[in-house]
Structure 1
Amino acid sequence: MNADAGVLDLGEFEFECGESIPRLDVAYEAYGEFDGENAVLVCHALTGSAHVAHRRLDDEPADAQPTGGQAHAWWSDIVGPGKAIDTKEYYVVCVNIPGSCYGTTGPASENPETGEAYGAEFPPVTVADWTRVQRRALDALGVGRLHAVVGGSVGGMNVLDWAKRYPDDVRRLAPIATAGRLDPQSLALDAIARRAIRADPNWNGGYYYGEDQEPPSEGLALARQIGHVMYLSKASMSQKFGRRAAGRDAGGEQFPADAAAAFFPYRDVESYLDYQAEKFVDRFDANSYLYLTRAMDNYDLASGYESDADALAAFTGEALVMSFTGDWHFTTEQAESLADGFRDADVEIAHHVIESDHGHDAFLVEPDNVGPPLADFLSAGVEGKAVTDTDEDPREDSDFAPVHTSLFSD
Structure 2
Amino acid sequence: MTTTDVQSLGEFTFECGESIPELEVAYETYGEFTGDNAVLVCHALTGSAHVARRPGAGDDTAGQARAWWGDVVGPGKAVDTTEYYVVCANVPGSCYGTTGPSSTNPETGEPYGTDFPPVTIGDWTRTQRRLLDELGVGRLHTLIGGSVGGMNVLDWLSRYPDDVERAAAVATAARLDAQCLALDTVARRAITSDPNWNGGHYYGGPVPEDGLARARQIGHIMYLSKASMAQKFGRRSAGRETVREESPDPAASFFPYREVESYLDYQAEKFTDRFDANSYLYLTRAMDDYDLSTGYESDAAALAAFEGELLLLSFTGDWHFTVEQSEAVAEACREAGVDVSHHVVESDHGHDAFLVEPEKVGPPLATVLEEGLSGRTITDTTDGEKPTGESESFAPVHTSLFSK
TM tier relative to shorter chain? over 0.9
Q: Per the alignment, in what secondary structure is the counterpart of residue 123 of structure 2? A: helix
State the Cα distance separating 1:409 from its structure 2 match: 2.8
Pairing partner for 1:348 from 331, 339, 343? 339
> What is the correspondence of 1:162-201 to structure 2 with a 5 Å cutoff?
162-201=156-195
Gaps of 5+ in 1: 57-61
CA RMSD, 1 decimal: 1.5
State the Cα distance separating 1:68 from its structure 2 match: 1.7
Q: Which amino acid aligns with 2:387?
A: E
Question: How far apart in 1 are the matches of 2:96 and 2:248?
Answer: 36
Question: How far apart in 2 are the matches of 1:379 and 1:64?
Answer: 31
CA distance change for structure 1 residues 352 and 202 in 2, over 3 Å: closer, same or farther?
same
Do residues 324 (structure 1) and 323 (structure 2) align? no
Question: How far apart in 2 are the matches of 1:269 and 1:148?
Answer: 39
Identify the residue that residue 26 of structure 1 maps to in structure 2.
25
Moved more, 399-408 or 222-231: 399-408
> What is the correspondence of 1:199-348 to structure 2 with a 5 Å cutoff?
199-210=193-204, 213-247=205-239, 248-251=241-244, 253-254=246-247, 257=250, 260-348=251-339
CA distance change for structure 1 residues 274 and 109 in 2, over 3 Å: closer, same or farther?
same
CA distance change for structure 1 residues 3 and 114 in 2, over 3 Å: closer, same or farther?
same
Question: How far apart in 2 are the matches of 1:186 and 1:85?
Answer: 30
CA distance change for structure 1 residues 48 and 63 in 2, over 3 Å: closer, same or farther?
closer
Question: How far apart in 2 are the matches of 1:26 and 1:255?
Answer: 39
Cα contact 2:364–2:393 (8 A) shared by 1: no
Identify the residue that residue 104 of structure 2 maps to in structure 1.
110
Pairing partner for 1:357 from 345, 348, 357? 348
CA distance change for structure 1 residues 220 and 401 in 2, over 3 Å: closer, same or farther?
same
Per-residue CA distance 1:198-240 (angstroms, 9 max, x = gap): 0000000000002xx1110000000000000000000000000
Moved more, 310-319 or 248-257: 248-257
Question: How far apart in 1 are the matches of 2:54 and 2:31?
Answer: 10
Per-residue CA distance 1:350-381 (angstroms, 9 max, x = gap): 00000000000000011111111110011111
Q: Per the alignment, in what secondary structure is the counterpart of residue 262 of structure 1? A: coil
Q: Per the alignment, in what secondary structure is the counterpart of residue 252 of structure 2? A: helix
Q: Which amino acid aligns with 1:254?
A: S
Identify the residue that residue 59 of structure 1 maps to in structure 2.
none
Identify the residue that residue 52 of structure 2 maps to in structure 1.
53
Q: Per the alignment, in what secondary structure is the counterpart of residue 46 of structure 1? A: coil
State the Cα distance separating 1:386 from its structure 2 match: 4.8
Identify the residue that residue 387 of structure 2 maps to in structure 1.
392
Aligned length: 399
Per-residue CA distance 1:302-347 (angstroms, 9 max, x = gap): 0000000000011000000000000000000011001111111101
Question: How far apart in 2 are the matches of 1:366 and 1:384?
Answer: 21
Identity of aligned residues (%): 71
Q: Per the alignment, in what secondary structure is the counterpart of residue 201 of structure 1? A: coil
Question: How far apart in 2 are the matches of 1:81 and 1:28?
Answer: 18
Moved more, 216-225 or 377-386: 377-386
Question: How far apart in 1 are the matches of 2:356 and 2:60?
Answer: 23
Q: Per the alignment, in what secondary structure is the counterpart of residue 305 of structure 2? A: coil
State the Cα distance separating 1:101 from its structure 2 match: 0.1
Moved more, 176-185 or 340-349: 340-349
Identify the residue that residue 14 of structure 1 maps to in structure 2.
13
Question: How far apart in 1 are the matches of 2:316 and 2:170?
Answer: 13
State the Cα distance separating 1:250 from its structure 2 match: 3.2
Cα contact 1:326–1:360 (8 A) shared by 2: yes
CA distance change for structure 1 residues 277 and 319 in 2, over 3 Å: closer, same or farther?
same
TM norm structure 2: 0.96
Q: Per the alignment, in what secondary structure is the counterpart of residue 42 of structure 1? A: strand
Question: How far apart in 2 are the matches of 1:382 and 1:63?
Answer: 36
Q: Per the alignment, in what secondary structure is the counterpart of residue 207 of structure 2? A: coil
State the Cα distance separating 1:408 from its structure 2 match: 4.1
Question: How far apart in 1 are the matches of 2:46 and 2:245?
Answer: 25
Per-residue CA distance 1:153-203 (angstroms, 9 max, x = gap): 000000001101000001011010000000000000000000000000000
Question: How far apart in 2 are the matches of 1:311 and 1:246?
Answer: 49
State the Cα distance separating 1:65 from its structure 2 match: 6.4
Q: Which amino acid aligns with 2:96?
A: Y
State the Cα distance separating 1:82 from its structure 2 match: 1.1
State the Cα distance separating 1:407 from its structure 2 match: 2.7
Moved more, 65-74 or 93-102: 65-74
Per-residue CA distance 1:253-308 (angstroms, 9 max, x = gap): 43653xx4222100000000000000000000000000000000000000000000
Q: Per the alignment, in what secondary structure is the counterpart of residue 88 of structure 1? A: coil
CA distance change for structure 1 residues 35 and 321 in 2, over 3 Å: closer, same or farther?
same
CA distance change for structure 1 residues 123 and 147 in 2, over 3 Å: closer, same or farther?
same
Question: How far apart in 2 are the matches of 1:132 and 1:90?
Answer: 22
Question: How far apart in 1 are the matches of 2:203 and 2:30?
Answer: 34
Cα contact 1:376–1:386 (8 A) shared by 2: no
Question: How far apart in 1 are the matches of 2:264 and 2:279?
Answer: 20
Q: Which amino acid aligns with 1:338?
A: V
